[in-house]
Structure 1
Amino acid sequence: MFKNIFQNIKVLAQINSMSSRSTSTATNYGDYVKFLELVGNCKQIKRTGWVLRNVDDPETISGHMYRMSVMSFIIPKESEIDRIKCMKLALIHDLAESIVGDITPYCGISKQEKRLREHNAILEICSLLDKNSSEEVLTLFEEYENQETDEAQLVKDFDLYDMILQAYEYEKRDQAPNKYEEFFINTKGRFKTDFVRKLVDELQKQREEFHENFTSNLKKENQSAS
């Protein structure tokens, strides 16, 4: 069903692109500025999951996507994965949130409605681009949503991994071991790639060491106080 939706989006985007520009070489810099302003919204919008949990100074959508894209550099060189495509997928996958915001299951919006809003948003965003760029962004958006390619699945793992890594960073920053355990529980068993599973194992190891050290230091402080 969603493949048909994406095909319709592509057709509509092409129609919008052709109708808004008299020639294929015409450049509307005004639209480009609007596009970049929309992208800039991601620098201001806080990630909903952290906001709902009253996290102090929570990360933005841009911060999340940026680290995901940088993760492409640590993909093993011997892998057949297209690292450049992974970088692009990471930069595009949440771009619709620049208009609709970061919709989570806690927002009371159905998955179908969420997809519809995001599809309409990405179409609006792409209408500001030239034909080739519009098609590329839509193709990347579709690829990530369909989760049928190795690159899309790896980037999805990056998405989940960045979330639990961020949770661990907040635990360390706030000196609150296991405070965000729910994120680790909710992602358990959802990682599909061996590479990211190894990253998760290492993160869990460091998180356990942090908890042990925190507990040990707290015990010593209590003994000293008594």
Structure 2
Amino acid sequence: MAVRSPLSSPPYLHLLLRRSLLAPTPLKLALPRARPLTASSARAGNPRSGGFVPRGSVDAAENGAPAAASAIAGASVSSAIDFLTLCHRLKTTKRKGWINHGIKGPESIADHMYRMALMALIADELPGVNRERCIKIAIVHDIAEAIVGDITPSDGVPKAEKSRREQEALNEMCDILGGGPIANEIKELWAEYEHNSSIEASLVKDFDKVEMILQALEYEMAHGKVLDEFFLSTAGKFQTDLGKRWAAEVVARRNKRLGKQA
């Protein structure tokens, strides 16, 4: 009999990752239900929680309070781990643009988003710009790629279709998370970026391009390549003053290295 590793992903996650997003009907997932917490199981250490149970849950069980609140809390923990397990794919999925240009061991989607979040963290204070919101947008803007992968212009997928696939994937990820305020915030942040509907979204879109050309410069230096495509595709497309200044600095460093006139 095969023994399932405790670290294995829940079966429905594998099903989700294999399914085609082109299917017209979203996949309905049956998430596991948490067992009601009792005083004895709380004192012993609930195996679902790795032995840790919040003090409030123990008190509720000992006082004979309804188990509904505890069950909801347990499901929330389970859903959070399911969601994070799915997001692991962001750490392992490599950015396709670099693969297409023969870069060995290229950055992952998560690598890209992490440095964008750092950009938002260290950026100058800008009037009317919510730094925390910029960081959040940077963290979630490519999150749907955990399911759809990194779709690039070379794939020939129309922009509207790419957006549809990512929206569907995002909805499924938020369902796995269990819905609620945090899931709704993730959807809102993603849509804000997708539709470029705020100054924060515009700034993060600039960070997206700056991060890409900075990475291109680093790969040129490390691999002896010339990656003109990434610089040409972003030239003149920066929306904010900060984005323009950072991009100009990256380009100036590249021109100096290549012996070009700025």
Q: TM-score, normalised by structure 1?
A: 0.80
Provide structure 2 residue ranges, at least 5 long, that are not aligned to the other structure: 1-28, 35-67
| Partner residue, 2:72 | 26
Q: 1:57 aligns with which of 105, 108, 111?
A: 105
Deviation at 1:136, TM superposition (A): 0.7
| Partner residue, 2:93 | 45
Deviation at 1:110, TM superposition (A): 1.9
> Residues 164 and 53 of structure 1: is their aligned pair in 2 closer, same or farther, counting only changes over 3 Å?
same
Deviation at 1:24, TM superposition (A): 11
Letter in 1 for 2:202: Q
Preserved CA contact (<8 Å) 1:24 1:131: no
Q: 1:144 aligns with which of 173, 193, 199?
A: 193
Deviation at 1:56, TM superposition (A): 1.2
Deviation at 1:114, TM superposition (A): 1.1
The structure showing larger relative contact order (alpha-carbon pairs under 8 Å, at least 6 residues apart) is: 1
How far, CA to CA, are the matches of 1:38 and 1:156 in structure 2?
25
Deviation at 1:77, TM superposition (A): 2.2
Preserved CA contact (<8 Å) 2:103 2:223: no
TM alignment of 1:68-147, pairs within 5 A: 68-129=116-177, 130-147=179-196
| Partner residue, 1:185 | 232
Q: How many residues align?
A: 193
Deviation at 1:40, TM superposition (A): 0.9
Deviation at 1:23, TM superposition (A): 6.7
| Partner residue, 1:158 | 207
Deviation at 1:25, TM superposition (A): 8.4
Deviation at 1:199, TM superposition (A): 0.8
Of the two, which has the highest radius of gyration? 2
How far, CA to CA, are the matches of 1:200 and 1:77 in structure 2?
18
Percent of aligned pairs sharing the same letter: 39
Letter in 1 for 2:187: L
Letter in 2 for 1:39: C
> Residues 78 and 164 of structure 1: is their aligned pair in 2 closer, same or farther, counting only changes over 3 Å?
closer
Preserved CA contact (<8 Å) 1:96 1:122: yes
How far, CA to CA, are the matches of 2:171 and 2:69 in structure 1?
20
Greater percentage in helix: 1
Q: TM-score, normalised by structure 2?
A: 0.69
